[in-house]
């Protein structure tokens, strides 16, 4: 039997990276997946195109999932961006700041605002909000809007986890470390010294694979994590605990 047999899971940002890999894994584990992205290129049994920064579209996507499958059990609010023009507070434009806040934080608020009522109607469920390891530590190579948005996701998730704990809804923030993606590979191919400097801080000496982050989401979505709520669930290879790393 799969760990998510019979569960209806709505995943945003399901067209690539962590979202797509999690959608595949959830399906393997017996879930029915509603994959949401800006385009209809997401992974899922039902694929929806929606802008998760738009309240009416978010409300509509959950209504569609509920109408199609009768209930909703798991929200994986994963959609997010990290644009090239995000930099230090001295260099980031207000436009760049706001764009990241809208996609990374406002969307999570909207998905919780319109998704949690469906979980309550079904007697409970699990909410997983994608934050980041940068929500719990600082960096000299700043991406201030991204970092602030993920800190907001962490705080929001903690508060919701406490608020809804006695109503059967668990809310956790999934905090990935750096993930091996084609974009990251391209960046480091151009600048091997930058790759070396960043890998130096990772105790395991490598970036995470998307599947490894998806396994963390699977744990939080399943009943295996029935006593886990309001947590910052770090899947970072030990990065946030490292003062120095092995030779």
Which positions are annotated as active-site residues?
A: 146
Q: Which residues contact 238 (CB under 8 A, 6 or more apart)?
A: 202, 203, 204
Which strand (E) or helix (H) includes residue 129? Answer: strand 125-130
Contacts of 121 (CB under 8 A, 6+ apart): 71
What is the full DSSP assignment across 2-40? -TTTT-EEEEESTTSHHHHHHHHHHHHTT-EEEEEESSS
Q: How far apart are CA 98 and CA 172, in angstroms?
A: 24
In 70-137, which ranges are continuous DSSP H helix? 94-101, 107-121
Q: Give yes or no for a contact between 35 and 46, defined as CB atoms under 8 angstroms apart.
A: yes
Strand order in the sheet with 32-37: 46-49, 32-37, 8-12, 74-77, 125-130, 169-176, 232-235
What are 124's two structure tokens? 């409970």
- Of 87, 57, 218, 69, nearest to 148 by C-alpha is 87
Tokens found for residue 108: 């999570």
Query: Looking up tokens 């009768």, which residue turns up?
Result: 70
């Amino acid at each position: 039997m799969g760990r998510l047999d019979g569960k209806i899971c709505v995943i945003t940002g399901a067209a690539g990276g962590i979202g797509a890999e999690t959608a595949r894994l959830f399906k393997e584990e017996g879930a029915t997946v509603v994959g949401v992205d800006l385009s209809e290129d997401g992974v899922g049994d039902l694929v929806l195109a929606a802008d998760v920064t738009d309240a009416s579209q978010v409300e509509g996507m959950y209504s569609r999932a509920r109408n199609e499958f009768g209930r909703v059990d798991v929200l994986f609010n994963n959609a997010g961006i990290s644009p090239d023009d995000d930099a230090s507070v001295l260099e980031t434009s207000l436009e760049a700041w706001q764009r990241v806040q809208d996609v990374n934080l406002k969307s999570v608020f909207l998905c919780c605002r319109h998704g949690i009522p469906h979980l309550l109607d079904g007697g409970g469920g699990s909410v997983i909000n994608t934050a980041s390891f940068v929500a719990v530590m600082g960096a000299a190579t700043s991406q201030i809007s991204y970092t602030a948005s993920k800190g907001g996701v962490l705080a929001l998730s903690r508060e919701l986890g406490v608020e809804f704990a006695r109503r059967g809804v668990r809310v956790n923030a999934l905090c990935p470390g750096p993930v091996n993606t084609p974009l990251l590979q391209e960046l480091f191919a151009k600048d091997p010294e930058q790759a070396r400097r960043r890998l130096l801080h990772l105790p395991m000496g490598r970036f995470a694979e998307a599947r490894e982050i998806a396994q963390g989401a699977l744990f939080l979505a399943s009943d295996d994590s029935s006593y886990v709520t309001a947590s910052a669930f770090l899947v970072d290879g030990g990065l946030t605990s490292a003062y120095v790393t092995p030779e």
